[in-house]
Chain A
Amino acid sequence: MKNSEKLRIPQSALSFLRSVAGAAGGLAIGLMICTIAGESPGKVLTVLVNSSFGSGYDFGMTLFYTSYFILTGLAVAIPFKSGLFNIGGEGQLTIGALAAAWAGVAGAGIESHALAILFATLAAFIAGGIWGAIPGYLKARRGSHEVITTIMMNFIAAGVTSYFTLYALKDPDSSQAETIPLSTVFQLKPFAVFNGAPMGGLIIALAVMTCVLHLVLRNSVWGYRLKATGENETAASTFGIAAPASWLSSMFVAGGIAGLTGLVEVLGNSHRFKIGFSSDYGFVGIAVALVARGNILGILPSAFLFGVLQKGAGSLDLETDKVTRDLTYIIQGLIILGVASDGIWDWFSSIWRKRNA
């Protein structure tokens, strides 16, 4: 007992350390697999590091991917506080991105850059939010399981966005499935240091937003209500905290945040909506939130890690002869396993205690 008092580490820091160690363990096993594939782990690691930090452009691309994962990671982590598992991030982000593209068409008369961005942001947030709120409402009102409804909503979102992209908002000058391009007023400027990578001040805004969300969820009444519902819905309602309100609001905010992907993709990158722009970023968000252990601030490093791996996937294919992009998916999986295998640490600590008893 004395021992543990001396070594008192705050619970959150301990949890963070466990995550880092788990991720490192997963990465190490992944690199060992490279050896089996016939490539030296040192080389794979060098390629991964170079592809993410090698130049301004590379770093900009890594942050570009990171920004997707911050948003989709938050979209999973926030409802998780209220006890919901949102796997509808993919649908929410496509609807949000479509709404951003729509804003560019509907707001064609807007001349102020700030106003244009605000309009598109609101459109993306509200559209994504509504898409998230529908399963939230069904859960609150009918008790429909959110895992089923959110995944259904993904398919509906794909249908809706296809319709708008191919008919209502179709770019008549293009033979591809994409919407009318945005005017320059709606476009986000990238940083020049990133030398062509489509990322600018948005990444800072997203980091700030994550910190604010962390504080709000920790200190506000709303955050307390979500947590109370998530911990024990019956106990919460005994104290007058209505679970349905928590579910609805957390799903609305989560959907809205996923919808902000429209800023990254439509305003920042393609300047239009293209069918199939997302490589399942909504689903990767689940992994991002898992590795962050549902901690809101933890989403930032976790998203960055996935950004590095996503950027590295193509580079590994290019720079090595034997390893392909698939290896990074293996590494991703191992990292998730490493972080998720909580039990190992309790096992370690029980051995430690026995030895010191």
Chain B
Amino acid sequence: MTGLALLVLPVQMALAQVRVGLVLERSGKDDKSFNASAYQGLKRAEKELGVTTKTVEAPDNAAYESLQRAFAEKKFDLIVAVGFHQLESIKKNAARFPNQKFLLVDEDAKAPNVRSVMFEEHEGSYLVGALAAMHAPGGKVGFIGGMDVPLIRRFETGYAAGAKKMNSKAQVLSNYLGVTGEAWNNPPKAKELALDQFNRGAEVIFVAAGNSGVGVFDAAAERKKLAIGVDSNQNWLKPGFILTSMLKRVDEAVFDSVKLFKEGKFTTGLIRYGVKTKGVDYSLDEHNARLVTDRDKKQLEQLRADIVKGKIKVPDYYLIQKK
């Protein structure tokens, strides 16, 4: 009997597919940004790696814990939680299910069975800040943030430092959209702020405000100026007026982790995605090929190399804030 069981078991294991459960934030898989990127990463894993996936969108903040827990009780092999809102619930579930493997994107869970992925947004913002300054001979660049939260401040400080690196006299005009969740979903207000910044002399505006970003792109097209997108590649939204997009490769992070899991090489602990691994990056495609010159690219690659080598220390708002 035992011998038979031993024979059957490996066969069953080989047949059993890897099952990955994905818990998205309230904004869901159609947010054209962060959650959408995670969803695409998982779909790619489904296609290329042959894993089985199930995606759920949390209806409220208290549901994160129940949904992760439900996946664990259904014995999914890997549970992916996207967004810093899920930190507390991942911590609780990681302790409750010590043999379950989790992936948390955008925060550090500090638990033995969780792989935490964080992005060095300030580094990517530094590069696009430098690029913005190269395209602003007048020295004025703009920044428009969604909600005034530490994460978005991190984008802003990196961006300002990059602009100042290229032009020591560079001036950064900065505005935030609001204090409620509406800030991520208010293109008309973003457009007004962008028009105002252009009136004040800004030549390039970097927007980190979720769905509101399209308002800034509209303003740029109207005034024949430039904007910079965020999170996913948004260059196609207004070709010719979007200088580049500051990429946050959530899709890569999710895909890589699932791949490692499938190959049995999954590790836990904190993994940082910076400019070194191109986990944060600026986007180049056919839509901005005429905007970003070879000289620009050369300078940006030099900056990237200097950041990787440690020759340039990009200010990190999270660390500044703690002081």
Contact = CB atoms under 8 A, between A and B. Distances in A.
Are A and B part of the same complex?
yes
B151 A175 contact: yes
Contacts of A198: 62
A176 B58 contact: no
B70 interface: yes
A129 to B, nearest CB: 22
B59 A196 contact: no
Contact of A279 (B60, B71, B147): B60
A345 interface: no
Given A158-B180, A159-B179, A176 B61 contact: no
A175 B67 contact: no
A169 to B, nearest CB: 14
Nearest to B179: A162
A162 B38 CA distance: 28
A324 interface: yes
Interface string A143-175: 000000000000100110011001000001001
Contact of A196 (B92, B151, B321): B92
B61 to A, nearest CB: 6
Q: Which of B62, B63, B65, B322 has the most CB of A within 10 A?
A: B62
Contacts of A315: 66, 70
Contact of A64 (B54, B62, B147, B318): B62
Interface in A104-156: 155
Interface in A194-212: 196, 198
A265 B232 CA distance: 34
B10 interface: no
Interface residues of A, number: 34
Contact of A317 (B56, B69, B148): B56
Majority-rule SS of A interface residues: helix
B61 A313 contact: no
Given A313-B59, A325-B57, A61 B66 contact: yes
Interface string B18-36: 0000000010000000000
Interface residues of B, number: 32
B87 to A, nearest CB: 8
A311 B63 CA distance: 8
A114 B200 CA distance: 57
A277 B88 CA distance: 13
Nearest to A90: B180
A19 interface: no
Contact of A162 (B26, B148, B318): B148
Contacts of B92: 196
Nearest to B74: A318
Given A196-B96, A313-B63, A318 B180 contact: no
B149 interface: yes
Given A158-B180, A162-B179, A270-B88, A172 B59 contact: no
A314 interface: yes
A280 to B, nearest CB: 9
Contacts, number: 78
B150 interface: yes
Given A162-B148, A317-B56, A318-B67, A175 B318 contact: yes
B181 interface: yes
A317 B62 contact: no
B261 interface: no
A160 B178 CA distance: 12
A269 to B, nearest CB: 7
B179 A310 contact: no
A328 interface: yes
A328 B62 contact: no
B150 A176 contact: yes
A270 B59 CA distance: 17
A337 interface: no
A304 interface: no
A158 B96 CA distance: 34
Interface in A300-329: 310-311, 313-315, 317-318, 324-325, 328
A273 interface: no
Contacts of B180: 155, 158, 162, 276
Interface string B41-75: 00000000000001011111111011101110000
B148 A166 contact: yes
5 contacts: A159-B179, A310-B60, A311-B66, A314-B63, A314-B66
Interface of B: 26, 54, 56-63, 65-67, 69-71, 84, 87-88, 92, 96, 147-151, 179-181, 318, 321-322
